[in-house]
Amino acid sequence: MKSIKLFLSILLMCFILTACSEKNYSPVSKELSVIVSINIKDMTVSFVDAERHKNVMQWEMEKPYSGGLILPDRDTLLLYGKGVESVDLYSLSRGEWVNSWNTGKGIVNGIVLKNKKEIVFTDQERNQARFFTIDGKETKSIATKQNPFTILEGKEKLYVISLNDEELTIIDKQSKIALDSIKIHPFATGALLRESENELWIGGHGMGTEAEPDIHVYNLLNGELIRTIHAPLMPVNFIEKDRNIYAISHGSNTLYKIPESGEQIQSVQIGANPFELSLFHDELIVAGYDSDDIYFVDPASLEIKHQVNVGKGPFQLIVRESR
């Protein structure tokens, strides 16, 4: 009798898991360039036509994903979340789940390396940078400082910034060995690597009740602080285009345009609590976390050209160009 109950329980569990994995979503054409918005308040993923500036579909997810990336095939959407036990892969063109990697909880960020053969995740449960092949095999894990988040890739090195430590971890890409660290300001978040200029621009939230008003620019060769650039409040994301650096400060709802000299800064108010900044062709894209919109901005004039409503709490933007 007990064996029958156990068998039925296992059968029911398998049925539930299979039902979850076989849920179908609206397919996303390979011919469509889309901005993928990961929305964390309502656990949805929105797909915005990048050329027509229109929200064309929305997936309602069953797990609390906070970020993702597109694999080199340009069809597979990989999703992760700190409280999710696995990294899950979905086919955009088929609108379905295809695979899961059992990573355990803690994954908060990830990048596909330029060799298109490896992915590096930051894991806040283990405080590690974890290397995976493109098909999901873990090959190496390297200890970082507490609560790693931001990952930047240079020609020979990776730079990992942790939220709760005043040192960033430097990793040799070839040997996958941790090298010397760089001393940085506390509660650093978001960064831009300007390797040809030997510069690393880093933002942050600030400490305690004091919000971070500045961007810190460090020398990559010796780790020294070169200068600070005033960009209040809480600059947390950066993009460079045509030797201008664009920074989003979510504490003041401001998008800054900063020449590399750091002088003659322009700015515009945008969204409500903007966290994410991306780029598609000749348009900047900003996500307003509390306004539930994404904004397409002319980088030359900082004029907001289009405003598109997405799911609630857009937290990360992923650009997928058509084939």
Residue ending a domain, among 160, 183, 206, is 183
Give the residues of the chain that fall short of pLDDT 50: 2-20
- Say if residue 90 is in the same domain as residue 66: yes
Q: How far is CA 42 from the centre of its chain?
A: 18
- Say if residue 179 is in the same domain as residue 226: no
- Say if residue 271 is in the same domain as residue 306: yes
Contacts of range 213-221, beta carbons closer than 8 Å, 24 or more positions apart? 215/247, 215/258, 216/184, 216/185, 216/188, 217/262, 218/182, 218/184, 220/195
Range of the domain at 97: 62-183
- Say if residue 176 is in the same domain as residue 283: no
- Say if residue 166 is in the same domain as residue 214: no
- Say if residue 251 is in the same domain as residue 234: yes
- Say if residue 201 is in the same domain as residue 296: yes
184-223: pLDDT as tens digits: 999 999 999 999 999 999 999 988 788 999 999 999 999 9
- Say if residue 80 is in the same domain as residue 57: no
Contact 196, 162 (CB under 8 A): no
- Say if residue 135 is in the same domain as residue 251: no
CA distances from 7 to 12, 95, 112, 207, 250 (A): 9, 32, 41, 54, 53
- 12 within some domain: no
- Say if residue 250 is in the same domain as residue 277: yes
- Say if residue 243 is in the same domain as residue 314: yes
CA distances from 312 to 5, 18, 40, 239 (A): 42, 28, 7, 24
Contact 295, 285 (CB under 8 A): yes
Contact 289, 312 (CB under 8 A): no
Q: What is the pTM of this model?
A: 0.92
240-259: pLDDT as tens digits: 999 999 999 999 999 999 99
Q: What is the pLDDT of residue 22?
A: 59
Give the residues across from 182 on adjacent strands.
168
- 9 within some domain: no
- 1 within some domain: no
Edge-to-edge strand order for the sheet containing 293-297?
274-280, 283-288, 293-297, 304-309
How many structural domains compose the chain? 2
- 296 within some domain: yes
- Say if residue 53 is in the same domain as residue 76: no
- Which CATH number characterizes residue 158's domain? 2.130.10.10
